[in-house]
Structure 1
Amino acid sequence: MRAARLIRMALLIQSSPGLTAAALARELEVSERTVIRDAQALQEAGVPVRSERGRVGGYFLAAGHRTRLTTLHPTEAETLFLSGLPSALRDLGLSDAAETARLKLTATLLPSVRQAAESSVRRFHLDAPAWFREPATPALLPELARAVWADRLVALTYARPGRDGSPPTTVTRVVEPYGLVLKAGTWYAVARVPGTRTGGGSESPGNTSPGNTSLGSEHGAGRAGGWRTYRVDRITAVDPAPGTTEPFVRDAGFELAAHWEARSAGFARALLRTTVRVRLSERGLRLLPTAVDGAAVADALASAGPPDPAGRVALDLPTESEEVAFDQLARLGADVEVLSPAGLRARFRAHATALAALYGTGNQEAAEASAPGAPGI
């Protein structure tokens, strides 16, 4: 454990000369006293670490010294070579640079570690998009990525989805692009509208028609400041912000992964604005997670009562709307019975009647007569 920490400390000092004991303690999650002891241990091991006092002081390596990565454990190398998403790098226009970096890293590794790293690439591959959907790379993604890298203020023009059947509207907004997220094959941009340094509301559900429950519309369009999330494939233009050429100053406390996790979880629950009561068979309970969002399943199971004499369980299922509930629950067939609301139950009754008519005895005879190879009349 300590050996790994010492290696990490040497690499931190090499990549960021001048880190203070306090900064290293935060990065390594240890005390400043432990940092001082570790620095002494590195010196005793032959790593020329020196500390300097004063306003611009900190820890440095001797001029010209470079720590080679020959001390990587094979498991660490395997993990490192699995950390990239080939499709994401390609979408961002970084696949060539990533391949060059991989070759450079490979050249620094010991033969035994190099073999372990290359072996992991042959054994594991991450294919992020869902089945039966060929994701298209948004045309403006590379330009937006360059703005993210450069902390460049931009004017985004995007199509805000309409609601209740209304057509989409085009909006242009000046934003600070903080990061890009690839979620289930779809790219999202996380940005902040200048005007606040912290806070901002969560994203709007946007278009919530059946099967479309993704982030992608901005929240609080009439307010100044705040965080926004945009689907990149809805962005139609990325232009320099008028009147400024200087990079914006990033919020030092912003962490993209934590921000996304918090906002996406809140978004998923914000969609669940309707509750339907259903009765499920044992098989229906097993299949429910395949048809309904995970957060909704957890809440529904928490409300479940004891099984009735037929083994069926009644529970309250949170969902986006009756329309979405019908689309999801119809997949469970006779393993689910809708108890309320009355309108949704009536819709399932009409659906069942239509199916019975379609597959009735008379229609079966007609289907057999028209099947390929059936004898003529």
Structure 2
Amino acid sequence: MRAARLIRMALLVQSSPGLTADALARELDVSRRTVIRDAQALQEAGVPIRSERGRAGGYHLAPGHRTRLTTLHPTEAETLYLSGLPAALRDLGLSDAADTARLKLSATLLPSLRAAAESSVRRFHLDAPAWFREPSAPELLPELARAVWADRTVRLDYARPGRDGAPSRTVTRLLEPYGLVLKAGVWYVVGRIPAERPGGDGGDRGDGGDGAWRTYRVDRVTALASASASAPGAGERFVRDPSFDLAAHWQAHASGFARALLRTTVTVRLTGRGLRRLPAVADPAGVAVALASASATAPDAAGRVTLDLPVESEDVAFGQLTGLGADVEVLAPAGLRARFREHARALAAVYGAEPEDRR
């Protein structure tokens, strides 16, 4: 394990000269003292690594020195071939580039490693979208991906779902797109609201002030301007915050973002069977909130439990809860209850007579 860490440390210093002991400690998940000991071990092994003080200090290799530690282990080659997501690369318009890169990599591998790498793709496959959902790439995703790669500010129109059954409304945002995330077959863009420029158009800042981080579903972006005279600010390069970590940001904010999507609350009364089936039809984040808030609520005389269930909208709630049939009764809001009443009447009209009587 230490040998692998020493190799990684040498490669980190080679690829990023000037890394401090603290920075290397974070990358290697060890203490600062361990980094100092490992640097000494590398020196004793003949690797000319040195620590320099001052503003341009940190760890460096001797000028012109290149480590000879880049030969791939079979397991490393297998893992590298597994790192691609074919569907995601296709959505981003990068499948051809990925195929070319794999061919180049394969050509540089020893025959034994080439066989090991190719065998991994026959044994493992990642299918990112959820079940029963046909994946489709948002039309504007490739253009948005180009803006992410180039650190270009975009102006986007976003269809925001309405509250309490209200129709969606379109808002316009000026955004510095930092990254794209694929979650359960749905693409999201993570970005920052840019600082307002003196005398300039900072865009509609309804999602927060300067520097606010925001996440948007890409399939709800209805228009995108990455460079246009009619879209002030779009197309301009922004200075990326070097400390931003997309994976860490997503992990820290994903649960909050999921809860933020649940903008409406419906009150329902569920049978025991309906309560057991609820997680299969409703949003998991909403179900978790509802069950936590109702943990002390005892069933009524008929064994039914009343919950306040957060949902994305009344339309979404109708589509989800109809799957529970008579095991759920919607109590509020009144408009959604009326919608279920009409649905029940329509079903009664369909099933109130035998099939032969309806010919």
- For each residue in 1:54-89, what CA deviation from the matched residue of structure 2 results, as whole angstroms up to 9, or x when unmatched? 442332334242444435362x44433222211222
The aligned counterpart of 2:348 is 356
CA-CA distance at 1:228 after TM superposition: 3.2
Contact 1:326 1:344 in 2 (8 A): yes
- For each residue in 1:181-208, what CA deviation from the matched residue of structure 2 results, as whole angstroms up to 9, or x when unmatched? 2334343332222228xxxxxxxxxxxx
The aligned counterpart of 1:236 is 224
CA-CA distance at 1:100 after TM superposition: 3.4
Contact 2:226 2:235 in 1 (8 A): no
The aligned counterpart of 1:292 is 282
Residues 1:136 and 2:127 aligned together: no
Contact 1:159 1:236 in 2 (8 A): no
The letter for the 1-side match of 2:355 is: Q
The letter for the 2-side match of 1:158 is: D
Q: Rate the CA distance shift 1:137–1:162 in 2: closer, same or farther, 3 A.
A: closer
Equivalent residues, number = 340
Contact 1:176 1:193 in 2 (8 A): yes
Secondary structure at the counterpart of residue 234 of structure 1: strand
Secondary structure at the counterpart of residue 176 of structure 2: strand
The aligned counterpart of 2:86 is 86
Q: Rate the CA distance shift 1:342–1:177 in 2: closer, same or farther, 3 A.
A: closer
CA-CA distance at 1:34 after TM superposition: 0.9
Contact 1:5 1:28 in 2 (8 A): yes
The aligned counterpart of 1:373 is none
The letter for the 2-side match of 1:280 is: T
The aligned counterpart of 2:191 is 191
Q: Rate the CA distance shift 1:347–1:55 in 2: closer, same or farther, 3 A.
A: closer
Q: Percent identity?
A: 64
Contact 1:70 1:110 in 2 (8 A): no
The aligned counterpart of 2:258 is 268
The letter for the 1-side match of 2:309 is: P
The letter for the 1-side match of 2:243 is: G
Q: Rate the CA distance shift 1:2–1:95 in 2: closer, same or farther, 3 A.
A: same
Secondary structure at the counterpart of residue 156 of structure 1: strand
Contact 1:22 1:32 in 2 (8 A): yes
- Counterpart of 1:316 (choices 287, 307, 315) is 307
Can you give the 5+ residue segments of structure 1 that lack an aligned partner in the other structure?
197-217, 371-377
2-structure distance, mates of 1:222, 1:296:
24
The letter for the 2-side match of 1:227 is: W
The aligned counterpart of 1:156 is 155
Q: Rate the CA distance shift 1:219–1:257 in 2: closer, same or farther, 3 A.
A: farther
2-structure distance, mates of 1:136, 1:244:
23
The aligned counterpart of 1:65 is 66
- For each residue in 1:110-152, what CA deviation from the matched residue of structure 2 results, as whole angstroms up to 9, or x when unmatched? 65554443222112222333434341342x4334323322323
Q: Rate the CA distance shift 1:3–1:73 in 2: closer, same or farther, 3 A.
A: farther
1-structure distance, mates of 2:26, 2:252:
23
Q: Rate the CA distance shift 1:348–1:59 in 2: closer, same or farther, 3 A.
A: same
2-structure distance, mates of 1:246, 1:306:
58
Contact 2:227 2:236 in 1 (8 A): no
Secondary structure at the counterpart of residue 126 of structure 2: coil
1-structure distance, mates of 2:324, 2:167:
31
1-structure distance, mates of 2:320, 2:348:
20
The letter for the 2-side match of 1:326 is: F
Q: Rate the CA distance shift 1:110–1:68 in 2: closer, same or farther, 3 A.
A: farther
Contact 2:267 2:308 in 1 (8 A): yes
Length-normalised TM-score, structure 1: 0.75
2-structure distance, mates of 1:188, 1:53:
42
CA-CA distance at 1:253 after TM superposition: 2.9
1-structure distance, mates of 2:56, 2:208:
44
CA-CA distance at 1:298 after TM superposition: 1.6
Secondary structure at the counterpart of residue 177 of structure 2: strand
Secondary structure at the counterpart of residue 157 of structure 2: strand
The aligned counterpart of 1:332 is 324
2-structure distance, mates of 1:167, 1:344:
17
CA-CA distance at 1:323 after TM superposition: 4.4
Contact 1:18 1:57 in 2 (8 A): yes
Superposed CA RMSD = 3.5
1-structure distance, mates of 2:70, 2:333:
63
2-structure distance, mates of 1:66, 1:263:
39
Deviates more, 1:159-168 or 1:48-57: 159-168
The aligned counterpart of 2:200 is none
- For each residue in 1:275-321, what CA deviation from the matched residue of structure 2 results, as whole angstroms up to 9, or x when unmatched? 41312233x333211210111222233325456676x4414142235
Secondary structure at the counterpart of residue 70 of structure 1: coil
1-structure distance, mates of 2:310, 2:71:
53
2-structure distance, mates of 1:104, 1:68:
20
The aligned counterpart of 1:8 is 8
The letter for the 2-side match of 1:123 is: R
Contact 2:20 2:59 in 1 (8 A): yes
Q: Rate the CA distance shift 1:272–1:314 in 2: closer, same or farther, 3 A.
A: farther
CA-CA distance at 1:53 after TM superposition: 4.2
The letter for the 1-side match of 2:272 is: S
Secondary structure at the counterpart of residue 129 of structure 1: coil
Can you give the 5+ residue segments of structure 2 that lack an aligned partner in the other structure?
197-203
